[in-house]
Structure 1
Amino acid sequence: MVSLHIATTTGEETVLEEARVTAFKSNLRGELLSADDEGYENARKVYNGMIDRHPCLIARCANVADVINAVNFARENKLLLAVRGGGHNGAGLGTCDDGLVIDLSRMKGIRIDPQARTVRVEGGCTLGDVDHATHAFGLAIPSGINSTTGVAGLTLGGGHGYLTRKYGLTIDNLLEADVVLADGRFVTANANENEDLFWAIRGGGGNFGVVTSFLFQAHPVSTVYAGPTLWHLDRATELMQWYRDFITNAPEDLYGFFAFLKVPPGPPFPEHLHTKTMCGIIWCYTGAEEKVEEAFRPIHNFATPAFEHIGPMPYPELQSMFDPLMPTGMQWYWKGDFVNQLSDEAIALHMKYGSQLPSLLSTMHLYPIDGAVNRVGKNDTAFSFREAKWSMVMAGIDPDPANAQKITTWAKEYWNALHPYTCGGAYVNFMMEEGQERVQATYRDNYERLVAIKNKYDPTNLFRVNQNIKPATA
């Protein structure tokens, strides 16, 4: 390894001497990769193929000691620093150009306490890793809808998915976290220790340190009654009008997110529907088996669907249902907002843009975030929009880089049209790099408190490759 030209936190370029890099490498139990090392090209890739960044160094940490060493190395050498858990972030905020990436993907330890129904999860785990471990005990934690998503990024942004209406956001089930701070200290944050940090990491993103493990409260979820119901596009306006009233009044055991989509060309979908633009709802029911028919009766009474594939399945099967459609390396551009109401005017705009999906995989989703989520106060965690009913995302997706501009334009135009009908802020995990004003709009009156906590734990803004909360002292 030779001397390296690096990007610093001041935005300047400097040279990192070989001796320093060699000493750092010798103190790691994991790997330290630079551009001339085998494995670097694969290690630098993230989920979104639209992101093409070249870190100077990638520290593939094996344990907490490695993370501490890496944070200290970045701080002492004023390196631009990014932290990667699952690498799923749409904006590519788990990597950077010319700096250091702390890669947690090898830290996949999980420990279940079946009596207390708690789950200790290391920062490199995906939802699939956790589902595999918890399902053996008949348990689950509320999380997302794709098993390849990283637990760390999902949790730090708030975390919503199939179990949200019943059990709340992922952060509402977070009991504590172990964190390596900017000064290299290792601390635990919970309701009794470092309470301000615990408040901030529940929705405040990766602004305050590297979370090396999370302790979650799990819930008895094993088999769910779930799957998609699809209707032809000419029913979309009627469906959205019915859905806006139905889902917000439905029992919290029943969850369903609305989507505009093109039907995937393969089973279980019939051939005559393949690639057809349709609207649909993907359901998940966690209640008693004997009440399934009662729960779904209003859905079946609404209108006969063009396709339905609902039945009992293990919860991990539902979580991984869409994984084959969206492997790592797709081109992604997404924009989101929180939504309180679905007015007829907003539905008309959804129809305009949702019927013009620019590629086979592009989609719009409305995820319910009511129920248990709304019963937590907006200032009780950093996640502010507790009154919202849905988290909306427009996702332009395609395997071909030649289509990147097309899917980006569609997502932006769709979002621009609907933004006036939203709450004004967004789920941070559905944001690209959209600027400081957008970050502040997302945290609202929690932002000033977040700045004060940032000043305390990261006054030089070492952790800045994120939806950044800028310290007043930096």
Structure 2
Amino acid sequence: MPLDPQREPARTGGGQPPGLLPDRVEQLRARLRGRLVRPDDADYEEHCRVYNAMIHKRPALIARCADVADVLAAVAFAREQGLLLAVRGGGHNGGGLGTCDGGLVADLSPMRGVRVDPASGTVRVAGGSVWGEVDHATHAFGLAVPSGIISTTGVGGLTLGGGIGHLTRRFGLTIDSLLAVDMVLADGRFVTANAEQHPDLFWAVRGGGGNFGVVTSFLFQAHPVDTILGGPTLWPLERAAEVMKWYREFIPAAPETLNGFFAFLTVPPAPPFPPHLHLQKMCAVVWCYTGDPEQADALFAPVRAMAPALDGVQAMPFPMLQSAFDALYPPGHQWYWRADFVRELSDEAIGRHVTFAQRLPTMQSTMHLYPIDGAARRVAPGGTAFSFRDARWSEVIVGVDPSPARAADITTWTKEYWEALHPYSAGGAYVNFMMEEGQERVQATYRDNYARLVEVKERYDPSNLFRVNQNIRPGEGAALRH
């Protein structure tokens, strides 16, 4: 059954789509080593859940893939039956793009595994793994792969979007440490993409998201990272404008061994935060220093000269910093995200930031500014699909709360905050921070790289089987070239 690349099949909830015959479903079940979950199974609702509880979608089938053969079977079934196909790794995608209504979810979460080669410093990671598993395996050898800031995040989604986190200034984006991927393509081929094999595909998956196939394993180059100096420094919200103006000058001039992302937050009422700060709205910088410990005091002297209300910087194993926010952001909360790339923090923009920080609607709602410079900037904007190498920060605004009753509040705050700051942005956004925001935003995110991404899409997925994502649409190439 041919697919219209610009149109999704009708969404029918969790029932069986029209024309999907029970014997075909049974044939798929028999082909899988893993389990096929259907709407009448007792644990169906459990397997429908994704990290963002604001997303409620009911696929017709969930293939819990145990290996590459299962992925091949799931992709072939979706293609042959004309089913909408979603691919789920860690399930953290803000817009819920690891699931769908009425289609097939290829759930890679059973495909876990990390193998470190200490001689070469390379790391082979199965497609369903999460970053905490990578951190655990690599730390035993004094190594780390650049990733994000929450260890329960899936390796696949974060990597394919680019990968911004604590090690960005020192070692670049996650994709800058990616050496190769193994993939199942829309036509059923299983290929390895790297600098020599399918180099166009390898270029595209480094920032182009899940548009080109299902990545079943990643090969990374790890870097020497062991004990680091990390943690937050906090200031009262009344000093936020002063701190942001200091931060905008300090971090770009700091050595690449020092990373620090800025945040607005409400202090959690739990250790390690002292009781007198609990539930106060504050601003913070969360630091990660991977350089010479003997130089740390001199490096942090300007930070301490800003007289933070809390100086939480201390020596710790790198995985400790990577997992520091896990308990604050468990699966199952309501999330609404908006994001932009930012080249400069003007005084006017800082004033608007402070206005919305004073209105943080819930304890877990926040705004982060992640630096994109240092090693990340040494790759040209066209060197990978990730385009905004010339941005200074990736800004993300998130409304978060456990209760569905607060969903409207956190969504309204996030949208209004974003609308107030968007005029000061560079345009586009980090795809891993985007909701379903329309094709114009996708093109703004990839800029000049979009036309090349369309060409790769037309070569490897001309029917747009992989479209539950920030979609690169086949068929747009001619219009973009003229």
- TM-score relative to the length of structure 1: 0.97
**Partner-residue secondary structure (3-state), 1:257:** strand
Matching residue within 134, 146, 153 for 1:149? 153
Task: Tell me the equivalent position of 2:237.
Answer: 233
Structure 2 distance, partners of 1:102, 1:248, is: 41
Amino acid at match of 2:241: T
Q: Does 1:330 align with 2:330?
A: no
Q: Does 1:257 align with 2:261?
A: yes
Superposition deviation, residue 36 in structure 1? 1.1
Superposition deviation, residue 305 in structure 1? 1.0
**Contact 1:460–1:473 under 8 Å retained in 2:** no
Q: Does 1:413 align with 2:416?
A: yes
Matching residue within 330, 343, 364 for 1:340? 343
Amino acid at match of 1:310: V
Amino acid at match of 1:288: D
- Map 1:22-421 to 2 at 5 A: 22-301=26-305, 303-421=306-424
Structure 1 distance, partners of 2:8, 2:441, is: 22
Superposition deviation, residue 473 in structure 1? 7.7
**Partner-residue secondary structure (3-state), 1:280:** strand
**Contact 2:67–2:111 under 8 Å retained in 1:** yes
Superposition deviation, residue 170 in structure 1? 0.3
**Contact 1:257–1:282 under 8 Å retained in 2:** yes
Structure 1 distance, partners of 2:301, 2:8, is: 58
Task: Tell me the equivalent position of 1:449.
Answer: 452
**Partner-residue secondary structure (3-state), 2:336:** strand
**Contact 1:377–1:386 under 8 Å retained in 2:** yes
Superposition deviation, residue 39 in structure 1? 2.4
Structure 2 distance, partners of 1:243, 1:414, is: 20
Amino acid at match of 2:470: Q
Cα-to-partner distance string for 1:47-82 (whole Å, 9 max, x where unaligned): 001001111100000000100011000000000000
Structure 2 distance, partners of 1:328, 1:300, is: 35
Amino acid at match of 1:171: I
Task: Tell me the equivalent position of 1:3.
Answer: none
Structure 1 distance, partners of 2:203, 2:8, is: 26
Superposition deviation, residue 272 in structure 1? 1.5
Q: Bigger shift: 435-444 or 265-274?
A: 265-274
Number of residue equivalences? 466
**Partner-residue secondary structure (3-state), 1:16:** coil
- Give every structure 1 segment of 4 or more consecutive aligned residues whose post-TM-superposition deviation is greater than 4 Å: none
**Contact 2:370–2:394 under 8 Å retained in 1:** yes
Amino acid at match of 2:210: G
| Identical residues among aligned pairs (%) | 65
**Contact 2:454–2:476 under 8 Å retained in 1:** no
Structure 2 distance, partners of 1:347, 1:73, is: 51
Q: Does 1:11 align with 2:15?
A: no
Structure 2 distance, partners of 1:414, 1:389, is: 20
Q: Bigger shift: 79-88 or 267-276?
A: 267-276
Cα-to-partner distance string for 1:386-433 (whole Å, 9 max, x where unaligned): 101100000000000010010000000000011111111100001000
Structure 1 distance, partners of 2:457, 2:92, is: 24
Superposition deviation, residue 9 in structure 1? 4.4
**Contact 1:260–1:355 under 8 Å retained in 2:** no
Structure 1 distance, partners of 2:47, 2:137, is: 25
Structure 2 distance, partners of 1:56, 1:136, is: 42
Amino acid at match of 1:190: N
Superposition deviation, residue 196 in structure 1? 0.4
Superposition deviation, residue 288 in structure 1? 1.3
Amino acid at match of 1:472: G
**Contact 1:147–1:319 under 8 Å retained in 2:** yes
Change (3 A) 1:399 1:324: same
Q: Please, which runs of 5 or more residues in structure 1 have no aligned partner?
A: 1-7
Superposition deviation, residue 38 in structure 1? 3.0
Amino acid at match of 1:212: T
Cα-to-partner distance string for 1:222-248 (whole Å, 9 max, x where unaligned): 111000100001111110000001000
**Contact 1:335–1:394 under 8 Å retained in 2:** yes
Amino acid at match of 1:319: Q
Superposition deviation, residue 10 in structure 1? 3.9
Cα-to-partner distance string for 1:128-152 (whole Å, 9 max, x where unaligned): 0110111111110000000011010
Structure 1 distance, partners of 2:447, 2:92, is: 25
Amino acid at match of 1:399: P
Structure 1 distance, partners of 2:43, 2:35, is: 10
**Partner-residue secondary structure (3-state), 1:98:** coil
RMSD: 1.1
Superposition deviation, residue 11 in structure 1? 3.4
Structure 1 distance, partners of 2:9, 2:147, is: 36
Structure 2 distance, partners of 1:260, 1:463, is: 36
Structure 1 distance, partners of 2:472, 2:393, is: 24
**Contact 1:358–1:406 under 8 Å retained in 2:** yes
**Contact 1:59–1:102 under 8 Å retained in 2:** yes
Task: Tell me the equivalent position of 1:4.
Answer: none
**Contact 1:255–1:285 under 8 Å retained in 2:** yes
Amino acid at match of 1:394: I
**Partner-residue secondary structure (3-state), 2:447:** helix
Task: Tell me the equivalent position of 2:433.
Answer: 430
Superposition deviation, residue 15 in structure 1? 2.8
- TM-score relative to the length of structure 2: 0.95
Q: Please, which runs of 5 or more residues in structure 2 have no aligned partner?
A: 1-6, 12-16, 478-482
Amino acid at match of 1:298: P
